[in-house]
Amino acid sequence: MPRYFTTELFRFLRDLEAHNDREWFADNRARYVDHVQEPALEFIADFGPRLRQISPHFRADAKVQGGSLFRIHRDTRFSSDKTPYKLNTGMHFRHERARDAHAPGYYLHLQPGECFMGVGLWHPESKVAYRIRESIADNPGVWTGAVRGPAFSNTFSLGGDSLARPPKGFDPDDPLIEDLKRKDFIASRRLTQAQVTGQSFMDDFESDCIAATPFMSFLCEAVEVEF
């Protein structure tokens, strides 16, 4: 089993944090390509066949631009922070209908001291969040089985933002009211640098994605996309 990511990835990102400017990045671009971009693209390409076994409706696209790998350049147009580069590398395995529908996805985030994988749907628009809440209220047993089952709950922690008050149209005394108040329907698992740089990381990441299947399947059905 190949080792995709090494300590050089984290060393580059630490150095970038100390020298977040275009001149330094230009001088060190080869390090970025060799230790961050190329390993990430290789990981994405090799994960593709495994992802298709989990669900044929999600995409692992190993393109430098416009694929599963996030750009390292920050969008600074509306930010007071004008530093040009992100201090992490992110990979997002999107649903095939992600361009025209709010759909859940799989995410991998690598950053010194802040590695994690995530699943679900972050910041859905109001009508999509309502559909998910409606599905939870109408199918409490399925939702509970998805998020409280041992395979999922021993791997992931639910997170994200929630409403301060119960959403309109839902019973404030519903046993699942805390889930119905969610604005984000996401779950994450913390990862260590040792895990990320280990030879079994591809297998581990695949296993975690499989453990998320009941949760992802529930969200897909709620927002009316295929799983």
Query: In the predicted model, what is the mean pLDDT of residues 196-217?
Result: 98
What was the pLDDT predicted at 100? 76
Which range is least confidently modeled, 42-56, 90-104, 111-125, 138-152?
90-104
Query: In the predicted model, what is the mean pLDDT of residues 46-73?
Result: 97
Query: In the predicted model, what is the mean pLDDT of residues 142-151?
Result: 96
Q: Give me the chain's average pLDDT, please.
A: 96
Task: Kindly state the percentage of the chain with pLDDT values over 70.
Answer: 100
What was the pLDDT predicted at 84? 96
| pLDDT band at residue 78 under the 50/70/90 scheme | confident
What was the pLDDT predicted at 48? 98
What was the pLDDT predicted at 171? 94
What was the pLDDT predicted at 102? 87
What was the pLDDT predicted at 101? 79
Judge whether residue 67 has pLDDT over 90: yes
| pLDDT band at residue 1 under the 50/70/90 scheme | confident
Q: DSSP string covering the chain, please?
A: ------HHHHHHHHHHHHS-SHHHHHHTHHHHIIIIIHHHHHHHHHHHHHHHHH-TTB-----SSSSSBPPSB---TT-S----B-SSEEEEE-BTTTTTS---EEEEEE-TT-EEEEEEE-S--HHHHHHHHHHHHH-HHHHHHHHHSHHHHTT-EEES-B-SSPPTTS-TT-TTHHHHTBS-EEEEEEE-HHHHTSTTHHHHHHHHHHHTHHHHHHHHHHTT---
Task: Kindly state the percentage of the chain with pLDDT values over 90.
Answer: 94
Judge whether residue 178 has pLDDT over 80: yes
What was the pLDDT predicted at 147? 97
pTM: 0.95
